[in-house]
Amino acid sequence: MNSWPSYSSHFAFFVLISIPFSSSFDSYTTCSNTFNCGGITKVGFPFWGDGRPDNCGYPELKLACSNDVTIIEIMGVKYRLLKINQDQQTLKVVRDDYYDKICSPKFGDTKLDSNLFDYVSSSSDVTLLYDCASSSPAGSSKCPDNESFANVAAVPAVVPGTPICKSKVVVRISDPIGFGILSILNVTALEAAVREGFEVKYKVDSGKCDECVGSKGVCGWNLNETVCHCPNQASESQTCSAATTAAINNPAAVPLTPAKGMN
């Protein structure tokens, strides 16, 4: 008759200690996985998305995979991620709405969050002018008949004296040889230049994450700061504890704290 209370107490103890640990364990396990989509592979912190939950990376750095194409949304505009270098913290991106054609613009000017990104110096802004009212600017090219506009011209910037046009859109392109060549490009060549994309550097302090990884943890995000998800199911503010490191080789050796009121 005395065995039932003992069993009940041990069961309650098991439930109390296992529930919170399970949630944190999921964070360590899921954030250990990397993002893989098409040619973009093995991407980890500070990015998340597509199997990596939001506690694995910065809120603004969500990646999505669609038909083997990686998409990142920045200030409401979707970009295709063409290349990533996590060691140098650079991304090569191109606006998704301009990837296939430039004569049917859908979004406003290309803008990045300056708190999170810097442009790489080998790129520059280009203003695309559509269906200008007066004489067309130099380099104006005819758009295909089934597009939204009849013609488009690319200029370095809209300056006083520029013809009144139906639409003006600023895009970013790689510009290793200077802008001058664009004045003679046709639509096909201009589309190719835009499709090439441009590079940005994301401004993330990797030092805290490096310390986390060095302590056998996995970097994540919580309450506006980088955290360290640990293999003993406990997330720390910066690095995993010595008990955490021991848990990797011998999980059974990690002591469990009894629930309050239990003997």
Write down the pLDDT at residue 221. 92
Residues with Cβ within 8 Å of 247's Cβ and at least 6 positions away in sequence, in order, are: 230, 231, 232, 253, 254
Cβ(139)–Cβ(185) under 8 Å?
A: yes
pLDDT digits (tens, 9 = 90+) for 58-86: 999 999 999 999 999 999 899 999 999 99
Write down the pLDDT at residue 238. 77
Low-confidence ranges of the chain (pLDDT < 50): 1, 3-24, 243-244, 246-263
Neighbouring C-beta atoms of residue 82, cutoff 10 Å: 19
Cβ(56)–Cβ(46) under 8 Å?
A: no
pLDDT digits (tens, 9 = 90+) for 122-157: 888 888 888 887 655 556 788 888 888 988 888 776
| pLDDT, averaged across the chain | 78
Write down the pLDDT at residue 160. 59
Q: Where are the chain's structural domains?
A: 3-32+205-253, 59-202
